Amino acid sequence: MITVVVYSESGGTFKTTTTANLAAAWARMGLDVCVIDLDPQEGNLTSLFDVGEHRSDPDVDNLVKHILEMPDGDFDDLIETSDEGVDVIPSHDMLSDFTSNLEQKISYETGMKNMSKAEYPRYELLHELLWEKQALHEEYDAVLIDPNARAEDLLYNAIFALRTLVAPVKPAGKGNLSLDGLEELVANMSDELDIQIGLSCVIPSGVGQTNAHQQYYKQFDGTDEFDTPVAIADRESLMDTMWEARGSAFKVLEEGWKTFEDDGEMVSEPGHRRVRDREVETLCDLYELAAFIATDTFGVDVDTELVLDIQDDEPRTFDVRERAETEVVTR
């Protein structure tokens, strides 16, 4: 089973779009996929997949209530399905107050049980919910979490529950600093919680053609400290349009979504995007990344053939595993 937290301390590293594209890729490979959005900010995965209509309603049931053992309904009712076949547990505004609500729960329960707060398993609650109470491993082949960026209770619960990180990084100095912080976080969490946390791979993202970007990418690609299976090129238009298409980069290209000016207003519609080879190449990179994580990190066999059914165009087929092997030979 695939269990991944897509995380980076640095902003603007395509954390959310990477999560969405991995989820969509695995769904295309025939896997049953669930994504959990733990980011309370606007412009999150919930918005991207166009789910969570009632995320601002304090009275509706949501994931926080289930984590804190105060549910107002069945867990299965939290799950919504995107039009790309990805199950999503949406974000909710209660996530912003998770730590304060958790502290109240801890104070009450430790008082009732005459135990110290330090003994309370505050980082194990999501793990218990997902695997022991809901047994998601019996329903899904892959579970991903798009967490909040701050190193606090929600993030620690996400990492404790899934145990494996995928790290998008910028090809710049801030990316290196983010990676240093990630390694420190992994080491501290592993020691404090006495669990093994793995780093599947690092993904240089938004890689441009400048000398600085290329030099930083070579540093990432040339290290033996972690795997760098692909680099995602700077495809700002493709990634930004995901928010308008309400779906993955695969959906953007196949349905031809494009943002353009019409009568003085910016509009986004399908059927207008020209197929560019460089964007097709990026979709292949994303599919190759998903295949690498599935097979090399988790030992899950997947179909590595990517079929792009592009509107008003002939279907295009690529075997990304053969492509990856060719790249290794030619490096």
Q: Could you give the number of structural domains in the chain?
A: 1
Q: Which of 241, 230, 233, 319 lies closest to 274 in space, CA to CA?
A: 241
- Does a structural domain hold residue 86? yes
Residues 6+ apart with CB under 8 A from 87: 32, 33, 34, 35, 79, 80, 81, 140
CATH code of residue 214? 3.40.50.300
Q: Are 82 and 47 in contact (CB under 8 A)?
A: no
Chain segment 158-196, per-residue pLDDT in tens: 999 999 999 998 876 555 555 666 777 778 878 877 889
Does a structural domain hold residue 330?
Answer: no
Condensed to tens digits (0 to 9), the pLDDT of residues 194-211 reads 889 999 999 998 887 777
Range of the domain at 180: 2-235
Cβ-contact 242, 254 below 8 angstroms: no
Q: Higher-confidence residue: 326 or 166? A: 166
Q: Is the CB of residue 108 less than 8 Å from the CB of residue 98?
A: no
Is 25 part of any domain?
yes
d(CA 147, CA 18): 12
What is the average per-residue pLDDT within 84-103? Answer: 97
Q: Does residue 15 register a pLDDT over 60? A: yes
Residue 159 placed within a domain: yes
In a domain, 22, yes or no: yes
